[in-house]
Amino acid sequence: MSKIKTAVIGVGYLGKFHAQKYHQLESSELVAVCDANIEIAQNIANEYDIPAIDDFQELIGKVDAVSIVVPTQKHYEVAKVFLENGIHVLLEKPITSTVAEAEELVEIAAKNHCVFQIGHLERFNPAILALENQLDKPLFIESNRIAPFNPRGADVNVVLDLMIHDIDIILDLVNSSVKNIDANGVAVISQEIDIANARITFESGCVANVTASRVSMKSERIMRIFQHDAYISVDFQNKKLGIHHKGEGEMYPGIANIETSEQVFEQGDALYSEIEAFLHSIETKTPPVVSGQAGLEALKTAITISELLGTSNA
């Protein structure tokens, strides 16, 4: 099978790593990088001896697939051009600035039979991947994602910057419609909400309590999942999965013993896995791990939370 001709649009901090992975993967031929700042593009292009361009439209007809790693406000404009031209797209999260934009991109991708994958990177965390055979109708989920302030994400509020990772995972784990959302938050450093908490109630009866902060002195990414017979903890940062479930015998009269096991995974390379999965979907004509529809559903929930906080900024 011939290699997939690929390119990256936006090769700043994150985009340069996309270019690196495409260069490394056997199924990819990285043919160009693009950035509005041609000097940035040229610096990356020099590493791989490929052309640097500053107009993404020049890539039409020259590539089969692209990663789009530009500011959120540009996602719709750039992705639409490629999808309309039948080019497969890996689009960084959040999918777009508005639900209407996201819905249109999903429709265009389907019409043109494009693989349209959204860059919710935590879906490729090995601790989450190992959950597949452990879940049985979650009843309560608690997640905490806190980090020091980083100006790279300050173009959106903390819900669309950080919380949306957990929203996407929770929607996938619960697999039920959202019934109700309550939220509160506050701006601390930036002009947008920097710390937020949301309580999401699902039609299934599951409740998720989700907290995200970008004004912490430390980094922590933890999710706790409770179901009828077990408590599962996921440490995204340290790649740990803890499972605590009912065992044989009783700890106290009427109280079952608790058996605990823990798995620690190698750090790995989630971005490599994400891009590898994207290319695999193209080769096999199979749905991506994180579809455009999944990105749309996560955005709907994130925007609802943002509106409850008094901002819909994306």
Cα dihedral 298→302→307→312 (10° resolution): -90
Q: What is the pLDDT of residue 26?
A: 96
Domains in the chain, please, with CATH? Answer: 4-120+271-290 (3.40.50.720), 123-266+301-308 (3.30.360.10)
**Nearest one of 224, 217, 219, 258 to 240, comparing CA atoms:** 224
Q: What is the mean pLDDT of residues 146-155?
A: 76
**In Å, how far from its chain's centre is CA 303?**
15
**Beta strands per DSSP E along 156-268:** 178-186, 195-202, 207-213, 220-227, 230-235, 240-252, 255-264
Residue with tokens 């790693």: 69
User: Is the preceding peptide bond at 94 cis, omega within 30 degrees of 0?
Assistant: yes
Strands 255-264 and 240-252: antiparallel
pLDDT at 254 over 70: no
Token pair, residue 280, equals 């695999």
Q: What is the pLDDT of residue 273?
A: 96
Query: pLDDT tens digits, residue range 179-203?
Result: 999 999 998 988 888 999 999 999 9
Alpha helices in the chain (DSSP H): 15-24, 38-48, 75-84, 99-111, 126-129, 158, 164-174, 270-284, 292-308
Average pLDDT, the chain: 93
pTM confidence score: 0.90
Q: What is the pLDDT of residue 142?
A: 98
Alpha helices in 64-163 (DSSP H): 75-84, 99-111, 126-129, 158
Strands 140-146 and 220-227: antiparallel
Q: What is the pLDDT of residue 314?
A: 47
Q: Using CA atoms, how far apart are residues 235 and 30, in angstroms rounded to an integer?
A: 34
Instruction: State the DSSP code for 3.
Output: P
Confidence grade of residue 245 (pLDDT, cut at 50, 70, 90): confident
Residue with tokens 């015998």: 249
Q: What is the mean pLDDT of residues 150-178?
A: 89
Q: What is the pLDDT of residue 153?
A: 58
Query: pLDDT tens digits, residue range 255-311?
Result: 767 788 899 998 889 999 999 999 999 999 999 999 999 999 999 999 999 999 986
Q: What is the pLDDT of residue 312?
A: 55
Q: What is the mean pLDDT of residues 41-65?
A: 97
Alpha carbon distances (Å) from 47 to 44, 210, 237: 5, 41, 30
Token pair, residue 64, equals 């089969």
Query: If DSSP codes are grouped into helix, strand and coil, which group holds residue 101?
Result: helix
Residue 127 and residue 240 in contact, taking contact as beta carbons nearer than 8 Å:
yes
Least-confidence region, from 20-24, 147-151, 292-296: 147-151
Q: What is the pLDDT of residue 124?
A: 95
Q: What is the mean pLDDT of residues 82-91?
A: 98
